[in-house]
Chain A
Amino acid sequence: MTPPPPPPAESVAAMIRPTPLLADSQTNRDVMAVFMGRPGLGWLLLLGLCAAGLVTGALTWILQIYLGLGIAGYSHPIFWGVYIVTFVFWVGIAHAGTLISAILLLFRAKWRNAINRSAEAMTIFAVFTAQLFLGIHVGRIWKAYFILPYPNQRALWVNFKSPLLWDTFAISTYTLISLIFLYVGLVPDLAIARDRTTGWRKVLYGTLALGWRGTSRQWKAHTRTVLHLSGLATPLVLSVHSVVSWDFAVAIVPGWHATIFAPYFVAGAIFSGFAMVLTVMIPVRRIFGLEHIITDYHFENMTRFLLLTSVIVGYAYGIEYFIAWYSGVEAEQTSFWLRAFGPYWISAWIMIIFNGVVPHIFWFKRARTHVPTIFVVATLINIGMWFERYVIIITGLSREYNPAVWGHYTPSTAELLIVIGSFSFFSTAFLLFLKLFPVIPISEVKELEIHARSHGHGAAADESEGQRLRRMQEAH
């Protein structure tokens, strides 16, 4: 056999030219269409609305820094209010991303692929929003750097015994690890985008892709990295909300001082995180026509999680009351009694009904597969979970040990504007992310695709992309 003559150099150059998009992988094209396409009117309106909310919130914050926290509704026994409520809420939301990415990865639940990117992005933005609230909450933000244990001219360190310092470490770690997690996952997709864009986007993606080429050595390291990061992130995700719960559990406030808080808060965080992913992804899927990638099957799986965590959270509500009664401590009993029947009874019942009762609708398959129902329930859970934190913080503080200093709290307009601003901040960030980065992890979806193709699960011609994916995911 005579070897064929080597092809001329020109032909190689032609061969490794960028593939025209038409000939590109279908997944690439689908996902890139989402973030490369011209922004629609809806997106622009939404962005404008969110930006307006963001600006209002930011101005209110500036005013608050200038005048003092007095413009918030705080009173003497209630030193923590809506800011900390919303902080805990966002930390809770931040849990879905890592949970979906890390824990489900460890459990090899491949159905996560379609949603993990958006969940991770949500995590990042939620953590950022949460961290904003730490700044909004403190009285002297211009001295907030005191909390960092850096060498300073005062020769002073910080108090590592304080749950707030644990918080600082846990949240910073969580932010960094989540960022790394998101970024590591993004790198191959950024390389895809780099190869298919021109102009400023090419510069942006090219820079961020770090020269990723998809060599087997890179992929191997990448897979291990993601796996190890998952291994680290799983205990981290559990620790972060445990630490946040210790802000309360370590204190001696009746209604806060409970050993159940860590698991209770973690379950609550997963619960609210999944609810938020659903609340966000249902409209996104519809707007961008991603039904073939994010399928009802994904939603159904998530409702199962909602059901599970709702049961845990509901159990925790019950057990809190039981322990309060069983402890025989009058202050504890009074606190819990007044939680349900005191001045804040509305909040308490919103919490119990929205979080503990409503999700039970997901015992029914029909509810699990009916997207509007899922959307409504998920939204109610978001509201319920915000009120859960409100109930814990406000009712706990308003009826403490000394009845001489019982008090009342009503959020002020300034507080509400800042809270709205925080939601706007989150939404703005997410909207921009949708238009800048691949919201679906392309490589991971493609991995399944190619596997299916080369292992003979070849697609029937009439089978839709979504059905195919779904089948593949179920096969895994």
Chain B
Amino acid sequence: MPTLVGVYDSPQHVAETVTRLRGRGFAKLEVYSPAPFDEVEEAVDPKPSKVRYFTLIGGLLGVVTGYALTIWMSLDWPIVIGGKPYAAIPAYTVIAFELTILFGGVFTLIGLLVIGRLPSVKLDPAYSARFSGDEFGIAVEVPERDVAEVDGLMRSHHAKEVGIVPA
């Protein structure tokens, strides 16, 4: 299927176009924007991002690792230090806390990479350097027969230009 690429100046117009396109059942679309815009993201996919689950799992894993690591290592070769118990929970909480943050952060990054499908070696054929300037782009896969219709739809929603990437 060919891909139609519409170039826009304003996020509102992009959002409107996307809503329309999705309404028409063109779900395989990609929006390129130079900066994040809530309305655009809302229009493309209203569900909240899944990055939060990565963060949560990372954090939980971190706290468990923190305590497990410290307690296990202290008990593996028990040595009396300063008259304190082998497993000194208050002291180990610092480690657990730091690992919570560390794992949470690293998992969040992993989340970004997974969800954002990064890294990718090749850029999309529809991507243009214009979209890292201050223009927006909507790339939508349409069957051959709908090309004209979508082209019109885009232009009617203030697309500056519309191009086509053949299948």
Interface residues in chain A, defined as those with a beta carbon under 8 Å from any beta carbon in chain B: 1-7, 9, 11-12, 15-19, 23-25, 27-28, 149, 155-161, 165-166, 169-170, 172-173, 176-177, 180-181, 184, 187-188, 191-192, 195-196, 210-225, 228-229, 231-233, 235-236, 239, 243, 246, 443-444, 446-447, 449-451, 453-454
Contacts and interface: CB of A to CB of B under 8 A. Distances in A.
A225 B129 contact: no
A216 B163 contact: no
Contacts of B133: 19, 23-25, 28, 192
A187 B99 CA distance: 25
Contacts of A196: 129, 132
Chief secondary structure at chain A's binding surface: helix
Contact of B118 (A169, A170, A218, A236): A218
Nearest to B40: A216
Interface in B8-45: 9-12, 30-37, 40-41, 44-45
Contacts of B108: 180, 225, 228-229, 232
Interface in B65-104: 69-70, 73-74, 76-77, 81-82, 84, 88, 91-92, 94-95, 97-99, 101-102, 104
18 contacts: A6-B164, A7-B163, A23-B133, A24-B133, A24-B134, A155-B76, A165-B95, A187-B118, A210-B118, A211-B121, A214-B32, A215-B30, A221-B116, A223-B49, A232-B55, A239-B94, A239-B101, A450-B37
Contact of A16 (B33, B77, B127, B148): B127
A19 B133 CA distance: 8
A180 B76 CA distance: 33
Contacts of A5: 148
B69 A149 contact: yes
A160 B91 contact: yes
A213 B124 contact: yes
Give 8 nearest A-B pairs by CB, closest first.
Answer: A3-B148, A12-B163, A210-B119, A195-B129, A211-B120, A447-B35, A16-B128, A157-B73
B5 A12 contact: yes
Given A28-B133, A155-B77, A215-B30, A220 B10 contact: no
A214 B132 contact: yes
A236 B101 contact: yes
B61 interface: no
Contact of B98 (A169, A219, A222, A228): A169
B88 A161 contact: yes
Nearest to A213: B127
Nearest to A157: B73
A4 B59 CA distance: 54
Given A15-B163, A214-B34, A235 B101 contact: yes
Contacts of B98: 166, 169-170, 173, 236, 239, 243
Contacts of B104: 228, 232
Contact of B147 (A6, A158, A161, A444): A6
Contact of B102 (A2, A173, A214, A219): A173
A221 B101 contact: no
Given A16-B126, A159-B81, A232-B108, A450 B134 contact: yes
A166 B94 CA distance: 6
Nearest to B105: A177
A213 B131 contact: yes
B64 interface: no
A146 to B, nearest CB: 14
Given A9-B166, A216-B41, A229-B105, A157 B77 contact: yes
A11 B33 CA distance: 22
B34 A454 contact: no
Nearest to B51: A224
B165 interface: yes
B134 A449 contact: yes
A192 B77 contact: no
Nearest to B153: A3
Nearest to B134: A25
Nearest to B112: A225
Contacts of A219: 33, 35-37, 40-41
Contact of A216 (B31, B82, B120, B132): B31
Contact of B92 (A160, A173, A176, A225): A160
Nearest to A21: B133
Given A12-B164, A211-B121, A228 B55 contact: yes
A256 to B, nearest CB: 17
Contacts of A232: 55, 59, 101, 104-105, 108
B63 interface: no
A447 B121 CA distance: 26
Contact of A160 (B74, B77, B101, B152): B74
Contacts of B134: 24-25, 27-28, 446, 449-450
Interface in B109-165: 109, 111-113, 115-124, 126-135, 147-149, 151-152, 161-165
Q: Pick from A172, A447, A451 the residue with the most CB of B within 10 Å.
A: A447
